[in-house]
């Protein structure tokens, strides 16, 4: 009996370090912590794949066309199939130093901003901050939609920039890069086919379907 008790006592001492747990590292550093995703989300530098890593917002809206020479404007488009609610969402250009979304100067769309399937939304760049985001009825003199929104920034054709559509918590939902000198004077940079294709130099069509040159 004494030998049996001694054997049980020794086995208990050996298992005190973790019997049956040899597959667990115990250091808390394994995958699945989500720390990288959370950090990336707070900086607004996500991949732009359409899903917000933090809040889970999604949208079908795309940055569809950019005019960086002459008139400064950005066109958003909603390929559908349903209507998109952009209230609280933002639009920003890229920070010159980092290339990430310049959150400090972002245009935030007011509550109630809706974009039906197949419709377009126009944002004028280089506008006065005191005018507010809109919607405004003073838009492009050369045509286009009668309602638009104002951003204080504009896309630089000589430096090249990226325009980001972001969720209310700053997650990048979609983007369109405007390369250095991507389009000539009188041209824009837009998706072909309209709202779904890769970007190319296009004829200016603010508020309408993109057109090849």
Is the pLDDT score of 73 beyond 60?
A: yes
pLDDT in tens, 191-204: 999 999 999 999 99
pLDDT in tens, 152-168: 999 999 999 999 999 99
Is the pLDDT score of 38 beyond 50?
A: no
| Strand 120-124 with 149-150, pairing | parallel
Is the pLDDT score of 77 beyond 60?
A: yes
Is the pLDDT score of 3 beyond 80?
A: no
Contact 97, 212 (CB under 8 A): no
Radius of gyration of the chain (CA): 26
Is the pLDDT score of 2 beyond 50?
A: no
Domain ranges of the chain: 45-212
pLDDT, mean of residues 138-147: 94
Task: Report the Cα–Cα distance between both ends of the chain, in Å, rounded.
Answer: 96
Q: What's residue 55's pLDDT?
A: 54
Contacts of 207 (CB under 8 A, 6+ apart): 75, 120, 122, 144, 145
| Cα 88 to Cα 86: distance, rounded to the nearest angstrom | 6
| Cα 64 to Cα 60: distance, rounded to the nearest angstrom | 12
Where does the pLDDT of residue 189 fall: very low under 50, low under 70, confident under 90, or very high at 90 and above? Answer: very high
Half-sphere CA count of 108, side-chain side, radius 13 A = 10
Higher pLDDT, 45 or 67: 67
Contact 133, 149 (CB under 8 A): yes
C-beta pairs of 35-42 under 8 Å, 24+ apart in sequence: 41/169, 41/170, 41/171, 42/170
* pLDDT more than 90, % of the chain: 71
User: What does CATH list as the number for 45-212?
Assistant: 2.60.40.1260
């Amino acid at each position: 009996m004494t030998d049996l008790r001694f054997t049980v006592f020794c086995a208990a001492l050996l298992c005190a370090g973790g019997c049956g747990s040899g597959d667990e590292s115990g250091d808390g550093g394994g995958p699945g912590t989500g720390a990288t995703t959370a950090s990336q989300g707070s900086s607004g530098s996500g991949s732009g794949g359409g899903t917000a890593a933090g809040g889970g917002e999604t949208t079908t809206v795309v940055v569809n066309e950019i005019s960086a020479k002459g008139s400064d404007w950005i066109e958003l488009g909603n390929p559908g199939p349903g209507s998109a609610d952009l209230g609280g969402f933002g639009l920003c250009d890229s920070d010159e130093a980092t290339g990430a979304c310049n959150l400090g100067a972002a245009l935030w769309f007011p509550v109630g901003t809706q974009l039906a399937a197949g419709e377009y939304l126009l944002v004028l760049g280089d506008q006065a901050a005191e005018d507010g985001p809109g919607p405004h009825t003073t838009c492009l003199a050369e045509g286009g939609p009668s309602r638009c929104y104002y951003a204080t920034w504009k896309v630089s054709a000589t430096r090249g920039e990226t325009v980001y559509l972001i969720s209310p918590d700053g997650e990048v939902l979609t983007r369109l890069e405007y390369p250095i000198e991507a389009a000539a004077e009188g041209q824009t940079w837009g998706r072909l086919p309209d709202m779904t294709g890769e970007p190319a130099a296009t004829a200016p069509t603010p508020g309408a379907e993109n057109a090849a040159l």
